[in-house]
Amino acid sequence: MRYVIALGGNALDGGNIAPAAKMIARLHKAGHEVAVTHGNGPQVGELATIESKSLAVLTAQTEAEIGLMIENSIPGAMESTATVITRSIVDPMDRAFRNPSKPIGKVLSTKEADSLRKKGTSVANTLNGPRRVVPSPIPARVLEASFIAALLKSGYIVICGGGGGVPVSVQGGALRYQDAVIDKDRASAVIAKELKADRLVILTTVDGAYVNYGRKSQRKVKRISSVELGVMLDEGEFEEGSMAPKVEACIDFVDSTGKPAVIGSLAKPEDAIRMSNVTVVTV
Ligand code: ADP
Ligand code: MG
């Protein structure tokens, strides 16, 4: 089987990546192909406070650093991992460039938020407090898809699409960096589709997508069709910028491949592989 496994930013930012790394090693040993994607919100936000480079360049830096960290954490795979700096094609006219929406970096104090706003930086009040927000355009495709597929076929565990990929656009026949951070869940769906993966597995801090999330009546969505899940998405069950992009990624993958997509917990990655006690999206 060919898996695309997306790791949430939390596990890479002081969290515990060991269970997921062990699961990836086990799948690989069993003869499966595994491509691993990951987020970079906290890390790219931190870099942006010290270096005034394009977010495209800073994303490439986080791909190298986080990619290496993931490679080093997979037990017994010292010589069979590869990190691919991945470029995602975006439309320079994407509406996202006029509506920064993706939070990056840490939660700010009111004073920090005010001083950033004065400098013209976009800051939004998220559920956890004010954070810098940046444009998050939709990725159309990744340039490295066939390279990634070749590495998978040669037996490598491939870390790719980190931070949603380095955002670039084609202008006048040349590639231009775009100052943006792509959502890693959206990029993971694009990569999984291009690789014709058998399964998209999104691992995060919670063990699935919930309805009535955060309320007493919350319940996990177990096995569900992409159509039914789409209805819940339209009804606003899933928070923008966190669970909604994961749900969208699953629907996108399932609708275009007919294969299942899973949302599960980083703490119990084997549940996600078994598709038990997690959110499983099917046609
Ligand atoms: P990641 O780094 O894995 O992308 P996010 O913070 O972006 O993590 O998304 C996971 C978070 O989504 C959870 O920690 C949870 O608080 C939040 N969330 C919002 N709405 C829901 C929902 N309906 N069901 C489950 N989790 C939700
Ligand atoms: Mg996220």
- Structure-block tokens of residue 47: 């870099």
Tell me what pLDDT residue 224 has.
Answer: 98
Considering only CA atoms, which residue is closest to atom 27 of ligand 1?
Answer: 243
pLDDT at 128 over 90: no
Q: What is the CB neighbour count within 10 angstroms for residue 171?
A: 10
Tell me what pLDDT residue 126 has.
Answer: 82
Which residues lie with the beta carbon below 6 Å from any ligand 1 atom?
A: 8-10, 39, 204-206, 209-210, 213, 237-239, 242-243
Across all residues in the chain, what is the average pLDDT?
A: 95
Residues 6+ apart with CB under 8 A from 36: 4, 5, 6, 7, 24, 70, 157, 158, 159, 160
Confidence of residue 89 (pLDDT cuts 50, 70, 90): very high
What tens digit of pLDDT does each residue of 159-182 get?
A: 999 999 999 999 999 999 999 999
Instruction: Output the CA 89–ligand 1 centroid distance in Å.
Output: 26
Q: What is the CB neighbour count within 10 angstroms for residue 173?
A: 5
Name the residue of 203, 242, 250 whose CB sits within 8 Å of the most ligand 1 atoms, as the mutation to test its pocket.
242
Please give the biggest Cα pair distance in the chain. Answer: 55
Nearest ligand 1 atom to alpha carbon 237? 23
Confidence of residue 127 (pLDDT cuts 50, 70, 90): confident
What tens digit of pLDDT does each residue of 42-85 get?
A: 999 999 999 999 999 999 999 999 999 999 999 999 999 999 99
Nearest ligand 1 atom to alpha carbon 10? 2
Average pLDDT over residues 97-121: 94
The closest ligand to the CA of 238 turns out to be 1
So which residues are the catalytic ones?
9-10, 102, 184, 246
* Residue among 202, 173, 177, 186 nearest 87 (CA): 177
Average pLDDT over residues 200-208: 96
Tell me what pLDDT residue 77 has.
Answer: 95
The closest ligand to the CA of 37 turns out to be 1
Nearest ligand 1 atom to alpha carbon 211? 23
Vertex 156: Cα angle to 155 and 160 (nearest 5): 140
Nearest ligand 1 atom to alpha carbon 6? 3
Instruction: Output the CA 130–ligand 2 centroid distance in Å.
Output: 16
Give the per-residue SS3 of 72-117. Answer: HHCCCCCCCEEECCCEEECCCCCHHHCCCCEEECCCCCHHHHHHHH
Instruction: Output the CA 265–ligand 2 centroid distance in Å.
Output: 13
* Residue among 140, 257, 126, 266 nearest 196 (CA): 257
Instruction: Output the CA 241–ligand 2 centroid distance in Å.
Output: 6
Confidence of residue 14 (pLDDT cuts 50, 70, 90): confident
Tell me what pLDDT residue 12 has.
Answer: 81
What tens digit of pLDDT does each residue of 205-246 get?
A: 999 999 999 999 999 999 999 999 999 999 999 988 789 999
Pairwise CA distance, residues 63 & 87, whole Å: 11
Name the residue of 185, 222, 243 whose CB sits within 8 Å of the most ligand 1 atoms, as the mutation to test its pocket.
243
Return the CATH number of the domain spanning residue range 2-199.
3.40.1160.10
- Segment 66-72 long-range contacts (CB within 8 Å, at least 24 positions apart): 66/12, 66/38, 66/40, 66/159, 66/162, 66/163, 67/38, 67/159, 67/162, 69/12, 69/17, 70/7, 70/12, 70/17, 70/21, 70/36, 70/38, 70/159, 71/157, 71/159
